Amino acid sequence: MKIYPIFIPHRGCPFNCIFCNQFKITKSGDLQSAPESDLKKFILYNRGKTRGVAFYGGTFTALPEEEQDYWLEFIRKFRKDLDDIRVSTRPDFIDCRILDKLKEFGVTTIETGIQSLHSGVLKKSKRGYSGEKAAESCHLIKRKGFRLGMQFLPGLPGFSQETWNFTVDKTLEIKPDFVRIYPLLILKDTELEKLYVKGEYKPLDLTRAIELSADAVLRFRKAGIRIAKVGLHSDINKEDIVSGPFHPAFGELIRAELLKRMLVDLDIFKLKYVFFSSKDESVVRGHGKIILKDFLDAATERKIEINFDPEITKGSVNGLY
């Protein structure tokens, strides 16, 4: 689907969570006027394709009522030309009245910044709601007939393997349509930065973030839940990152980690030939070499022949002994 993004950075959000500096992530805090001419061009240019509009960067349902109405009235004019209208919000700004209104204006997808479903983690991160409230809101969104997206931040204060497993387990019970996983980064001018400087918070390292994200991706995929994105977008200003598991191609590292696990299952050191999808060649030969180094070194030493086949499904590996 082709998406036309409308950014409303930090607008509507009543909190400044321990980790958050939304202006660093979405660049600007200015209220954007309705981009009518640009949206018309987008619809025309993508004629014949599935098209959608998504509001990013703020808490849509916590905006002042008149501001919500401004955007909803604007987007309703294009509803017949769009396959999806998406808003982003927090689980504590969801109720039946809000959902009925969004439905009336043609909103089809609601993406919730859950971050964790573990109440202890949420409390330490000053999110302002419990894991139970977050799950309740997600179930309500689904009952009202919306597509549901959930965003997660592994690595929050209080995070552990146990709290992550708990969050993934609860997510599988909710069965969202898609998820995003953004391993937590420490940004400048946040409370989290102060804790880090004082030695009271330690972020995930890159290797651990990859392992935890890959574990979740495997479980979500097995349950038929789409992975919309793993890792923050690469154009975030690197100077704003104090610490944390940032990599400009984090998503490719996850793909490489999943390929590595498949190779282990195939007992790679007994193979004579390995076949990757042609669509994974950039992963194997590019950033993914960090993850696949041991295999690639062994392949050279043992003369294992590596091939890329367009007939093989992306993300799959075949081997011959």
Q: Where are the domains of the chain?
A: 2-246, 255-320
Region 209-233 average pLDDT: 95
Q: In degrees to the nearest 10, what's the CA dihedral of 285, 288, 290, 291?
A: -130
> What predicted TM-score, i.e. pTM, was given to this entire model?
0.90
319 in Cβ contact with 275 (< 8 Å): yes
Region 138-154 average pLDDT: 98
| CA distances to 247, 258, 264 from 286, in Å | 13, 15, 20
Q: Is pLDDT at 25 greater than 70 in this prediction?
A: no
Q: What is the CATH number of domain 2-246?
A: 3.20.20.70
pLDDT of residue 31: 53
Confidence of residue 29 (pLDDT cuts 50, 70, 90): very low
pLDDT of residue 190: 93
Q: Which are the contacts of 242, defined by CB distance < 8 A and separation ≥ 6?
A: 185, 186, 187, 188, 193, 196
3-state secondary structure 252-271: HHHHHHHHHHHHHHCCHHHC
**What tokens were used for 111?**
């993406």
Please provide the average confidence, as pLDDT, over all residues in the chain.
Answer: 91
Q: Is pLDDT at 28 greater than 50 in this prediction?
A: no
Region 10-14 average pLDDT: 65
C-alpha span between 312 and 305 (Å, rounded): 16
What sign does the CA torsion over 62, 63, 66, 67 have?
negative
Q: For 12, phi and psi rounded to 5 degrees?
A: 90, -25
Q: What is the Cα gyration radius of the chain?
A: 21
Query: Whose CA is closest to 2, among 77, 53, 40?
Result: 53
Q: Report pLDDT digits (tens) over 75-114.
A: 999 999 999 999 999 999 999 999 999 999 999 999 999 9
Q: Report pLDDT digits (tens) over 264-316.
A: 898 877 888 999 999 999 999 998 888 998 888 888 888 889 999 999 999 99
1 in Cβ contact with 83 (< 8 Å): yes
Region 147-161 average pLDDT: 98
pLDDT of residue 7: 86
Sheet holding 109-115, edge to edge: 2-7, 51-56, 84-89, 109-115, 147-152, 178-181, 226-230
Region 23-36 average pLDDT: 58
